[in-house]
């Protein structure tokens, strides 16, 4: 916001609203380190307001990495019992209350958040960002997109902020890797829903994915000494656990390797044929 210099002290300049002409206007301190040379009483300053480490209102000419109602990916600096503290580009870290978190956080992790003013008039972060997404993504089925994971529910899937602006979901049946909030992903749009939400998959189309899946099988065969305890009749959960592949993807890739003469397939195992 734009404020006007009311007076100076040893600590800095005190700013007031330009339309406040009262004898004792409400003022906020702009510390000396932020005052440009040549600033005088009456100068207008474009500043950002927040509370310092002693919970006092303070102004800065620095621009934070996020403002109220915006979305941003911020790094976790510390985690405590009451919440986490995020680096948002200002001296005092941004507080992410425990009740506003999704999943378990750790220092150094990046999380996707919005910012709001709490009941105590403090700026805080929240990982509950769904309501802030735009509903007009310029994507259709088959398009490749990038985004940030902001929540994971094992019963539903991984929630992704596509372009950090749109809602995306990798359904649990499409999850073949362990994802955490803050992870960057590249995915394919499976479906664009009528409400603008996107269903995603981190896997390529079946014919393009088959080569990659075959390489996964061969790599595991080599690590297992040429015999892998997964075969045509193996349980789907065991295949997913060992190879991060669905049973259908495993059978497609194994079939291609069999046709190429690279493996032999049995009910309970596959073996290198080379």
Sketch the domain layout of the chain as residue ranges. 2-60, 71-130, 133-201, 206-272
pTM for the complete prediction? 0.65
- Report the pLDDT value the prediction gives residue 252, as an integer from 0 to 100: 79
Domains 133-201 and 206-272 share a fold: no
Q: Mention the CATH class of domain 71-130.
A: mainly beta
Confidence of residue 203 (pLDDT cuts 50, 70, 90): confident
Instruction: Give the homologous superfamily in CATH for domain 2-60.
Output: Nucleic acid-binding proteins (2.40.50.140)
Considering the domain 206-272 in this protein, what is its CATH number? 1.10.10.10
| CA-derived radius of gyration, the chain | 27
Which of 80-84, 127-131, 239-243 comes out lowest in average pLDDT? 239-243
Mean per-residue pLDDT, 36-43: 91
pLDDT, position 207: 46
Q: Are 270 and 254 in contact (CB under 8 A)?
A: yes
| 95, 125 contact by CB (below 8 A) | yes
> What is the domain class of 133-201 according to CATH?
mainly beta
**pLDDT at 241 > cutoff 70:** yes
The pLDDT, as a whole number, for residue 274 is 67
Answer whether residue 15 shows pLDDT above 90: yes
Residue 159 has pLDDT above 90, yes or no: yes
Question: pLDDT grade, residue 271 (50/70/90)?
Answer: confident
CB-neighbour burial class of residue 74 (10 A; exposed 0-12, middle 13-18, buried 19+): buried
Q: Quick one: pLDDT at residue 39?
A: 92
């Amino acid at each position: 916001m734009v404020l006007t210099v009311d007076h100076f002290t040893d600590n800095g300049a005190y700013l007031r609203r330009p339309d406040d002409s009262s004898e004792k206007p409400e003022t906020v301190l702009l510390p000396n380190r932020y005052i440009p040379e040549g600033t005088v009483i009456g100068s207008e300053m474009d500043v950002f307001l927040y509370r310092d480490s002693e919970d006092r209102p303070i102004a800065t000419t620095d621009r934070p990495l996020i403002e109220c109602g915006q979305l941003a990916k911020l790094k976790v600096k510390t985690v405590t019992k009451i919440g986490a503290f995020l680096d948002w580009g200002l001296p005092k870290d941004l507080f992410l209350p425990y009740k506003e978190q999704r999943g378990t956080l750790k220092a150094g992790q990046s999380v996707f958040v919005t910012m709001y003013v709490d009941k105590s008039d403090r700026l805080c972060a929240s990982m509950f960002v769904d309501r802030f997404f735009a509903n007009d993504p310029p994507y259709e089925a088959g398009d490749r997109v990038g985004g940030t994971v902001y929540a994971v529910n094992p019963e539903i899937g991984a929630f992704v902020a596509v372009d950090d602006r749109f809602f995306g979901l990798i359904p649990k049946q499409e999850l073949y890797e362990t994802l955490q909030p803050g992870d960057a992903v590249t995915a394919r749009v499976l479906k664009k829903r009528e409400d603008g939400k996107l269903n995603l998959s981190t896997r390529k189309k079946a014919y393009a994915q088959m080569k990659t899946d075959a390489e996964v099988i061969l790599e595991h065969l080599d690590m297992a000494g040429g015999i892998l305890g997964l075969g045509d009749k193996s349980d789907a959960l065991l295949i997913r656990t060992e190879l991060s592949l669905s049973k259908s993807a495993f059978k497609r890739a194994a079939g291609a390797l069999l046709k190429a003469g690279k493996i032999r397939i049995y009910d309970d195992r596959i073996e290198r044929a080379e």
